[in-house]
Amino acid sequence: MSAAPKPYYQDTVLRLKSYWAERGCIIQEPYDLEVGAGTMAPETFLRVLGPKEYRVAYVQPSRRPADGRYGENPNRLYKHQQLQVILKPSPADVIDQYLGSLEAIGINLKQHDIKFEEDNWESPTLGAWGIGWQVMLDGMEITQFTYFQQCGGIDLDLVPAELTYGLERLVAFLQNVDSVYDIEWAPGFTYRQVRFEDEKQFSIYNFEVADVATLWKLFDLHEAEGHQLLKDKTIPLAAYDQTLKCSHLFNLLDSRGAISVTERVGVIGRVRRLAVGVAQIWNEREQAEVTA
């Protein structure tokens, strides 16, 4: 390995943020509700719609209750950190810019193997899909690269590039450790110290404790509130929060094993109806602003 001192987890995050800030991105903070992926934050889901340019980068803690392993599996997490970059429209040299970001965090590409392997992204819950790759570094997936095509069922005016870095994997690679819990987050603090309790306690909650009846009740309440808010065509952001709540509750119910395969499609459809409603209102407002 190279002789340079290992970058701490937070160094890598900071370097990526400055790299993308230098390329014209707004550096946003994570969205403050539970989301399953950086894509679900409004900074992606809503901003990719409509004819206005946008460039943003942010870290998004992403909760996937079913992926929890009580902190026992060295590579699987209930909540992992994604660094999400949206470049709208996608520049022609987007891949070169992306490869530059790897160099910026200390990967000498001349000494490594990079492959772009077909991996199209789709979220039935969001009515969204895109075309792209998983980027493989020495056989490990480090980034999902997607050209967004549709969001909330709407064709996108400007095709954005979405780069999603899996931070734990990337840093485990840079620090050459086999377990994400051994990552050094900051001098004197490991990932285990920062996050282990989080993983353990929420695995217990997600798999064992969460009350299914309550979750369904909450799902119904948030769904009803979302539809109520959609009737007022002026505050799609508020309706979107209710959509995210429903999406997270769906994931929780799923990890409790409370959704049968036959029900699944129906529940996904309920969340999607909210998402599509929000996207339509947001999109109409964006289009109107540009023509006005």
Partner 1 sequence: MNVLPFYLEIGSEEIPDWMIVPALNHLQDAFQRWLDANVVGGRVTKVDATPRRLVLHAEGLKARQEDTTEIVMGPPRSAGEGALRGFAKKTGATVDQLQTEVTPKGEYWKFERAVPGRATSDLLGEALPGLILGIPWPKTMYWAGKTGPRWIRPIRWLVALLGDDVVPFEIAGVTSGRESQGHRLLGKDGVIVSAEERRAKIEREIEALVAGKGLRVKPDPDLLHTLVYITEFPTPILGSFEEQYLKLPREVLSTVMRHHQKYFSVESAATGDLAPHFIAVMNTNADPEGLVRHGNERVLRARFNDARFFFDVDQKKKLADRVEDLAHVTFQAKVGSYLEKTRRMIALVKELGGNEHAQRAALLAKADLTTDMVKEFTDLQGVVGGLYAKEQGEPEPVWRAVYDHYKPLSMEDSIPATAESRILALADKLDTLRECFKVGLQPSGSKDPFALRRAAQGVIRILVEGNIALPFAEQGELREFLIDRIRYYFREVRGYRYDEVNAVLASGIRDLPDVAARLEALRAVRPTEDFEPLAASFKRIANILKQANFADAGAIDEKLLEHGPEADLYKEFERVRKTTKTSDYLPALEAIATLRPAVDRFFDKVLVNAQDDGIRRNRLTLLCNLLTEFSAIADFSEIVPSNT
Instruction: Please state the φ and ψ torsions of residue 106, each to the nearest 5 degrees.
Output: 100, 15
- Number of residues in contact with partner 1 under rule CB under 8 A: 44
Quick check: 208 binds partner 1 (CB under 8 A)?
Answer: no
Quick check: 153 binds partner 1 (CB under 8 A)?
Answer: no
Can you point out the beta strands (E) in the chain? 26-27, 54-63, 79-88, 114-118, 121-123, 128-137, 140-151, 154-155, 161-166, 184-186, 189-190
In whole angstroms, give the CA distance from residue 278 to residue 72.
Answer: 38
Among positions 30-89, residues that touch partner 1 (CB under 8 A) are 69, 72-76, 89
In single-letter form, the type of residue at position 270 comes to: R
| The one among 61, 106, 116, 254 contacting partner 1 by CB under 8 A | 116
Is the previous residue joined to 74 through a cis bond, with omega within 30 degrees of 0?
A: no
Taking CB under 8 A as the binding criterion, the range among 53-61, 107-115, 213-221, 234-242 that sits at the site for partner 1 is 107-115
Work out how close the CB of 33 gets to partner 1 at its nearest, in angstroms, rounded to a whole number. Answer: 28
Quick check: 203 binds partner 1 (CB under 8 A)?
Answer: no
| The one among 26, 33, 99, 238 contacting partner 1 by CB under 8 A | 99
Work out how close the CB of 76 gets to partner 1 at its nearest, in angstroms, rounded to a whole number. Answer: 7
**Residue matched to tokens 């934050």:** 41
**Residue matched to tokens 């870290």:** 59
| The one among 147, 189, 196, 216 contacting partner 1 by CB under 8 A | 147
Quick check: 261 binds partner 1 (CB under 8 A)?
Answer: yes
Quick check: 111 binds partner 1 (CB under 8 A)?
Answer: yes
The pairing of beta strand 26-27 with beta strand 54-63: parallel
At residue 89, the 3 state secondary structure works out as coil
Compute the chain's Rg from CA coordinates. Answer: 19
Positions touching partner 1 (CB under 8 A) are 1, 69, 72-76, 89-90, 92, 95, 99, 109-118, 120, 130-131, 133, 137-140, 147, 149, 155-159, 173, 176, 178, 257, 260-262
